[in-house]
Amino acid sequence: SADVEVGQQLPTLNMTFTREHLVAYAHASGDMNPIHREEAFAKSVGLPDVIAHGMLTMGRAIKVVTDWVGDPIAIVDYSVRMTRPVVVPAGPGVQVEFGGTVGAINDDGTVRIDLSAVFDGQTVLGQARATVRLS
């Protein structure tokens, strides 16, 4: 669209991750790995605490794009690299800040959105990109 330009920032979303979210996601996804639910197990394998599922983090990150474009069907491609875990200690949860920037406007009418996810001052997703077809 004419009103979209490279470098344009999408609205940032701050989302909370709690242990309850991790348990619910484990049941919904079938990923019952104890590193996402059991503190003692997570620590026994060298993690600082329970960690969020990478796919949960990825799923939350794309909300920046779906909120911006208004239609999840407009997303034609989405990929990320998991670079660092979101550590979720017991208690009220932790905040992850998700953002997006228009990285490219392609000749085929699609737009590449470069996504960011920052937890505890560090990026947790690498090469997070969504391609969106704008009407």
pTM: 0.93
Angular region, 120: left φ>0, alpha ψ -120 to 50, beta rest: left
- In the prediction, which pLDDT does 126 show? 93
The pLDDT of 60-76, averaged and rounded, is 96
Q: What is the pLDDT of residues 11-46, one digit of tens each?
A: 999 999 999 999 999 999 999 999 999 999 999 999
- pLDDT above 80: residue 133: yes
Q: What is the pLDDT of residues 72-107, one digit of tens each?
A: 999 999 999 999 999 999 999 999 999 999 999 999
Contacts of 20 (CB under 8 A, 6+ apart): none
Where do runs of H (alpha helix) occur along 4-132? Answer: 19-29, 39-44, 54-61, 63-69
Q: Are 64 and 99 in contact (CB under 8 A)?
A: yes
The pLDDT of 60-81, averaged and rounded, is 96
The amino acid that residue 8 corresponds to is: Q
- In the prediction, which pLDDT does 72 show? 92
- pLDDT above 90: residue 2: no
- In the prediction, which pLDDT does 135 show? 77
The pLDDT of 55-81, averaged and rounded, is 96
